[in-house]
Amino acid sequence: MSFKIAYEFDDKNVFVRDSVIFPSFSHVTDDGKEFNDYDDAKKHQRELFPLEEVIDLEYLNDSEEVKEGEEGEMQAKTMLVEPPAMPEILTKEIFVLPENCTWTAAPNPSNNAVWDSKKQKWVNGSMPDMIPPTPSELELLKVEMESAKQDAVELREILLDIVTDNLE
């Protein structure tokens, strides 16, 4: 199923959010009329191209039942035949843009982007101050503990090297 993204702005033209828009469908018959309901379109299409056509056939009955030397008899038969080609009903997608929305993508990051209706584009707002996150005291303590553990492991390895060298 297809969809489009609409970008919504508020009364001050500031970007609010993006929304997924699904289409409504219109069904077009061969004569160009549009219907919201497929069954109505199909019914109208059948009126344009009747499904049954009456054909009178005359043929010579010379089947195996006719005795040898005798001629078959002419018979008439009426048949109902479908038209050879009935055009398909076309389906058209219609995307309705909600109020205070545009199809033009908002900048990323939006940073309070403003929709400029004269230029038909988004004007990016001011960039937020980028303050790096500071670790908490607990996080600093954990880092120090990990560092102390690593130092202890390295010290043990050095001592083990010294002891094994002296034993040899």
Task: Report pTM.
Answer: 0.48
3-class DSSP assignment, residue 94: strand
C-alpha–C-alpha distance, residues 102 and 148, integer Å: 57
The better pLDDT of the pair 128, 132 is held by 132
- Does 71 score more than 80 pLDDT? no
C-alpha–C-alpha distance, residues 108 and 7, integer Å: 12
Query: Can you give the pLDDT at residue 135?
Result: 82
- Does 129 score more than 80 pLDDT? no
pLDDT tier at 127 (50, 70, 90 boundaries)? low
C-alpha–C-alpha distance, residues 41 and 28, integer Å: 7
Query: Can you give the pLDDT at residue 154?
Result: 92
Give 12-25 pLDDT, tens digit per residue: 888 888 889 999 99
Residues 97/6, Cβ–Cβ less than 8 Å: yes
- CA 38 to centroid of chain Cα atoms: 21
